[in-house]
Structure 1
Amino acid sequence: MKPNLLARTLPLPRVCALVAVLATLPAHAALLADYNLGVDQNTTVWTTLSNANPTRTADAGSDAGSFTIGAPGYQASVGTYSYSTDYSITVTQTSTFDLQTAVFQVDIAMNPAYTLPYGTGPLLSYNGGTQNLAASLFTTNGTENRNTSFGPMTYTGGAWQWDLSSIGEEITSLTITMPVSVHSSISAARIDSGSSNLAVVPEPSMGFLALLGGGMLVARRRRAV
């Protein structure tokens, strides 16, 4: 069993580094929340997933990671996209210390016929394995309407958290794969992993879920007209 490090706090140098990264993020990344996971924390942020960044390079100042898109997904002017069938995205991150938790976030414009979480939701594996662990917590970080080259689109910030503290082996790398519905676009993503098992992602309120579901229903009716 890994030790519980909840009583420890994030040191000032690492806080300053995270603040510096966040200060450089574009406005749409406001739907990606800043979660404090403990004394040791890795952060990887992608805020440009459009075809303007074909290598999907993470933002300057964030830890190393990778972002890949499963076929038939591709990078469009608004971010990852598929016009034919569902696709997937996969992100990875490595760590120099043992991980007890991970948080994955996306800034996504969902196909109006679907809501988050979609399908299985993102699944996490560690140390190069195929454990495919479902997240223990999920929430939404709000919505934002934007005018894009595809027309007006409503983006939602989704966040998932995994509690890895009961895993006996040391965890130093993560792979997270998320199914994405057809006609849905991800413009930004973020992974945070830490040495504490503090639960930071709250469950969404029933009121917000009702509001989100009602909005999707209206959009679906308009699409059917």
Structure 2
Amino acid sequence: MNKTIILTSTAAGLLCLGAQAAIVNNNLTGNKEYDGWDRLGSSAPGLTTTTLSTGSGFGSNEAGSGDAMLLRVSGGHYPASLGLYSFGSNSTLRVSDTVTSFSDIRTVAITIVSWSNGDEGLPSGSFSSLPTLGFNGGSQALAADWFGTTRVGSVDFGGPIQTYAFTFQWDLGSFGDPITSYDVSWGQIVHTGVLGIQLESADTYSLSNAVPEPSSALLAASAAILAFRRKRR
């Protein structure tokens, strides 16, 4: 059974784009691999609409990262001054990675820093479809087992707009075969920005510190709004 938790908190200065710093401190245990995209705007070296949307995509660019890739599968998000942005359409984005430092992935956590198009602070304000995970080249499309959101600051986009770090985590311990590679795909809403992405995997499952406390009321509201938005579209 999937368990989902939402934590809302203020964390001024938690996100430091352009520096070697995690977006959130998940404190995963065991052997770990880390990838980060801390620059996703037009000033990021090597990042163009072409590198984002062709081949395997654009490699993680935070110092100390591994070799994970970010690909725009479809849609209109492109490297704008404030991150990946789209004027005209929703996008499908995907990150993928193959681990090399250990033999079996037991957990994956992804954090996506975004500002919303309505429904501030809720996943329905940033995502047209929530992240799902596949592994070993398969199409399992697993929903996350845990979820949390943390307010990390604001951007000036015709006025201040709050930005949030949305963290999703999967518990993969119930799968018998060794997991050595994975991908995470999600739908990003038009007129929302993606400022940064943090991707972690480990060979031991431990609950991310980004989601320590339950909030069933906020979860219910988020699910209802997302369902309503899908029906309207």
Q: Which range, TM-score by smaller chain?
A: 0.7 to 0.9
| Residue 104 of structure 1, CA deviation | 0.4
Shift of residue 208 of structure 1? 9.4
Q: Does 1:110 align with 2:116?
A: yes
Question: Within 1, Cα distance between the matches of 2:34 and 2:69?
Answer: 12
Query: SS of 1:122's equivalent?
Result: strand
The residue number in structure 2 matching 1:52 is 43
* Correspondence for 1:156: 164
User: Mapping of 1:33-182 within 5 angstroms?
Assistant: 33-53=24-44, 54=47, 55=51, 56-57=58-59, 58-69=61-72, 70-96=74-100, 97=102, 98-113=104-119, 115-117=122-124, 118-147=127-156, 151-182=159-190
Contact 1:105 1:157 (C-alpha < 8 Å) held by counterparts: yes
1:102 CA displacement? 0.4
Which one of the candidate residues 182, 200, 220 is aligned to 1:192? 200
Q: CA deviation at 1:99?
A: 0.4
Q: How many residues align?
A: 190
Distance in structure 2 (CA, Å) of the matches to 1:68 and 1:87: 10
Q: CA deviation at 1:66?
A: 0.5
Shift of 1:41: 0.3
The alpha carbon displacement at 1:158 in A equals 0.5
8 Å CA contact 1:93, 1:191 repeated in 2 = no
TM-score, length-scaled by structure 2: 0.71
Confirm or deny: 8 A CA contact 1:95 1:172 kept in the other structure. Answer: yes
Which has more radius of gyration?
Answer: 1
Q: Which amino acid aligns with 1:61?
A: G
Query: 2:143, 2:20 → 1: CA distance?
Result: 24
- One-letter identity of the residue aligned with 1:104: I
| Partner residue, 2:5 | none
| Cα distance, 1:75 vs structure 2 | 1.4
Q: Distance in 2 between matches of 1:133 and 1:153?
A: 31
The 1-side partners of 2:168 and 2:176 are apart by 22
CA contact (8 A) 2:77 2:84 kept: yes
| Stretch deviating more after TM superposition (101-110 or 90-99) | 90-99
- Distance in 1 separating the partners of 2:86 and 2:162: 17
Contact 2:132 2:141 in 1 (8 A): yes
CA apart distance, 1:178:
1.2
Task: Write out per-residue CA displacement over residues 34-78 of structure 1, whole angstroms, 9 at most, x where no aligned residue.
Answer: 212222001000010112221544212111110112322211111
Flag the structure with higher helix content.
1
Q: Deviations over 1:184-204 (max 9, x none)?
A: 100100101001111224266
Residue 209 (structure 1) shift: 3.9
- Show CA shifts across 1:126-156 (max 9, x none): 11111111001000122412325x5432101
The alpha-carbon deviation at position 94 of structure 1 amounts to: 1.4
- The secondary structure found in structure 2 opposite 1:120 is strand
